[in-house]
Each structure stands twice: as C-alpha cells, then as structure tokens.
Structure 1
C-alpha cells in the first residue's frame, strides 16, 4: 500500500446557489520517503489538495489515506490529533510568532508533540546554530523560512507539507531552501510534499503530480532527480 493515496477525491464549495468544484475526482499515490512536487497554475486546486491532505479541510467525496489510515473519515478530534502529531506545515509567509526567538518558535511546536526532536539540534540542522536567540524581525526572509522548517521538523511528523515555500524569497535564497528540503528528505527519510506553480522545481522531485483545473493531469516518476543546487529558473 502507498504511503499517501487519493482515491476519487473531490472538493465542492457551495457559493450561494452555485457549486464550485475546486478538486475533481483526484487519484494519485505517494511513496514513503519521496520528495514530491505538486505543480500547476494558480487556481488549479493545489492548495485545496494540500489542505485536505493536511487535515485542514475535508473532502466532499472520495478517500484520503496516510500510512494506511483513512484521514477523510476522521472526526474533528481525530483531525486535531492528526494535524498535531502527523503533519508538519511550511507556508509561504513563515507564520512565526514575532515576540518569540527562533528557539522559542521551534520549542512551541515541540511542546505539543509526542516524540519531538530537540529544538537546538533541529535549528543546527537547518544552519541556524548562531541565530537561535534572534527574533523573527532580526532574521532575513531565508532565515525565517529556515526557522519555519525547523519548527515543522521538530514535531517529528510523518509528512512535511510545504505550500509555495520559496514564494516570498529571492532566487538564491529560494534555491537554498529547496536544497534544505531536498537534503532533509534524503537524510531523515521524511516524505516531503512541495506545492508550487514553478515548473522548474519538477526536475528535483522523485515524483511530480501535475494539477490542472482541479484534476490530476499527469504523474511522473523521476529516477534521477537533479540537486536543487544546479536548478535554474
């Protein structure tokens, strides 16, 4: 059985008397330990897909499985536990607590988990050994995103979900963040899913899921992904 599986998953929003299908009968699988890129234009359904996989939104129909468990059938309490223990989130705009230091931001996530990783060791791993006592306002955009990644990793989640993680960063910093995510996947065996509109990112993925107009247009498995260090866009 695949680690992640979408079986005929749809998400329909009711806008007054009009039904809007954000996701239509999606089917795909993801294997454990893969670095996955979900790519498509704005409005294709990428973030809706990610929100359903992360337990932040429910599907209208279909089945979502993670590690053999039917996430799509969880009740509200089960979804809270799922988000807390199984999922790590990295967003485009960091979402750090501004009056907490880098270490305190990471510790905040560690405190709600069953088997958290050490906050200092996790910050060391993302290259912030000398920035732990700094507040977000004292850090560059790339450093803030590294804190956000450390915070997500410190939860020791089964799955790391990244929604346009380089969208607010310059070119070189964006490449560094992609390299960090790629290296994290390789060194820890975590399954990492990156959502992006940038088709260049597909070259570094083990698996690419192309999304268009709410549907999966194609799935590619890349036997020889490039290193993010040589990626250009």
Structure 2
C-alpha cells in the first residue's frame, strides 16, 4: 500500500540576488492515511517550507510530492489553487479570522468554497463553541479564536489538515486543549493531521515523528507509545 503523503528527494532553493539559500536538501518522508504526524525542528530548519510545499503555497525546485496518489509537485498555478481550496485545511499560529464576521460566518465562508463541506454549526459544536456561534472574534479568547480557525479548516472536509505552530499564540493550558482537539479530530474522523512545531515534547502525542534539521529530514519514526496530550509536560 502506498503512503498517503509521499515527499521524495525534495529540494527547495531560494535565490536572492547572487546568493542561493537551500531551504530543503533531499528531504524524504511519508505519512500514512489517518495519522497524526508531528514535524519537529528548530526555527529555520525547513519545516515551514515543507508545510508550504505540502499545502500548495510554494513550489519545489526538484523532487516530487504526492498526496493520495496525485502528484501535486506537477500542478500548475490554477490547479494548485483548486488543490488548496478543496484538499487542504490550514491552521496557523495566528487565527486569520475575518473580524466583522461572527464565528459561524467565519466557518461558513470556508465551507462556501469547497465541494463537500460539513455543516458550520455542527463543526462549531464539535470544537466546543456551540454557545459562541454569534460572537465576533473580538468577543472571543485566544483559545476560542483558534478553535474557530480549526472549525473553519475542518468545515472544508479536507484530505489533509496542516497546522503551523497552532498553539504558538496560546497559553499552556489552552494550547493543550487545542492539541487535544486536533488529536481527537484525527482519531474520530480518520483525518490525516500534520502539526509543525519547535516543541519536541509534542512528539510524544504523534503516530509519526519527523525531525527536520538544516533543511534535511534527520529522522522519521513511528511512535509505539503514544501519550495523551494531558499527560505531556513541557
């Protein structure tokens, strides 16, 4: 059985004037369908570049990337836009909510642009915001806003959920609650979730741990002793 995500010998080089910056050098890994994967590495290691290429926000210099058997590294601009729209859910460190829309309207906005969306109210209830649907972002705490952002990503019913430092702007306990929500979503929906973090303690909650260093995949391993988020300390 082939992997759900295949990242093969990927190089990414940025040119600034005469200088070449090698963000990724021969990065290779795979992720199985329905896995909760943590990609861990220091700042500047190349993990955000991996996320951007996986999410169709950036192109690679050489190598190949496949999602669910489809080679996304060969897609043109128009096809990449459709790929981002239909196949990928994004959760970032900052919530990127539309301030003059309610929580429900923020989620509905994402649902409108995809093929097979989930019900906005239902998803908001699932992330624990059933009572806050009519609130605007300014009336919500940071943790609640991040839950709206997760609900918005989930409402698209994506094949792959990509999370870039999703707890970066949250306090410890709220961060744990958000990570638990992501882990539960992966388990209950069978959704493939990738979390990018510099916090190596989070590796304990993952099915698969990919360590990135200096633009290379230093290690990839399956976790045989998965720990509940509540039991992880950092």
Superposition TM-score, scaled by structure 1 size:
0.99
Q: Which residue of 2 aligns with 1:186?
A: 187
Spell out, residue by residue over 1:39-81, the C-alpha distance to the aligned partner (whole angstroms, 9 max, x if none). Answer: 0000000100000000000000000000000000000111010
What is residue 33 of structure 2 aligned with on the other side?
32
Query: What is the rounded CA distance, in whole Å, between the counterparts of 1:70 and 1:64 in structure 2?
Result: 6
1:224 deviation in Å? 2.6
Partner in structure 1 of residue 12 of structure 2: 11
1:126 equivalent in structure 2 = 127
Q: CA deviation at 1:108?
A: 0.1
Which runs of 5 or more residues in structure 1 are unaligned? Answer: none
Aligned partner of 2:82 in structure 1 is 81
5 Å matches for 1:1-233?
Answer: 1-233=2-234
Secondary structure at 2:138 match in 1 = helix
Moved over 3 A (4+): none
CA RMSD of aligned residues (A): 0.4
Q: Distance in 1 between matches of 2:97 and 2:215?
A: 30
- Secondary structure in structure 2 of the residue aligned to 1:95: coil
How many residue pairs get aligned? The number is 233
Q: Deviations over 1:132-190 (max 9, x none)?
A: 00000000000000000000000000000000000000000000000000000000000
The unaligned stretches of length 5 or more in structure 2 are none
What whole-Å deviation, never above 9, does each CA across 1:115-138 have from its counterpart, x for those lacking one? 000000000000000000000000
Distance 1:139 1:225 in 2: 32
Q: For the residues of structure 2 that align with 1:119 and 1:24, how far apart are their CA atoms?
A: 40
Aligned mates of 1:184, 1:232 — CA distance in 2 = 21
